[in-house]
Structure 1
Amino acid sequence: MAGEKGFSLIEIIVALTIAATLSISFLGVQRQSALMAQSSKDSWKVLNLSQDILAHKYPDRMNMVSSGWVSWPGPPEGSFRVGVETVSSAGKGFYTLETRSDDYTLEWKVYRVSHKKK
């Protein structure tokens, strides 16, 4: 039914259907990529927060536990809390450090050796 220089109605419908399907698939892949990128960004943010807190608080000033989440001004911004597992009277032992930024939380087990002189 197509003329010498034109396309038939069926060819046009098939081409549009294929284009729409590819477009929808591409948008789904794009959305998934954006979600993965955001997840990766958030997890790196909380990892950087953990490293920053450990660099400033460990080992010299990590000598008390927190009763709740303590705000960390950043950057990167977030919060942390310190818990005790087994610590000797000299301050030597295992502490837990939890860091939280947005929806991500990391928990670290830190072994601290006391720097107190006898």
Structure 2
Amino acid sequence: MPEQMQNPKPPPPVLAAVVIYALLAAGPVLLAIVMVMAGRPAGALFALVAFLPGMTALGLWQGNYGAKIVAILMGFATLALGIVMICLLVAPKSARAWFLYGPDLYEEPDDIYE
């Protein structure tokens, strides 16, 4: 069995959510790097803020149902992001299948692109 079939990638809506949360995690890390370079070593602790969106992105990639719930709830810190997360993680059939079966048993439905 090819390697790609053993570890399938998430469907496109889940990938979009992963990218959004990965970018939200990258912001505090970059800010912490800038603060350390500016001579404020205590600013490195600001990188800890990146753990929650970073772990959410990883959980979404792995098909973790709890990460889906956290992504939606964290999204409602700003109403627009919460609505986007519902549209990406709850509405599409492929995203629901990803979280229902997980990456091991996930097979992309044939009719999602119709």
What is the TM-score of this pair, normalised by structure 1? 0.27
Higher relative contact order, structure no. (Cα contacts within 8 Å, ≥ 6 residues apart): 2
What is the TM-score of this pair, normalised by structure 2? 0.28
Which protein is bigger by CA-based radius of gyration? Answer: 1
| The structure with more strand, counted as a fraction of residues | 1
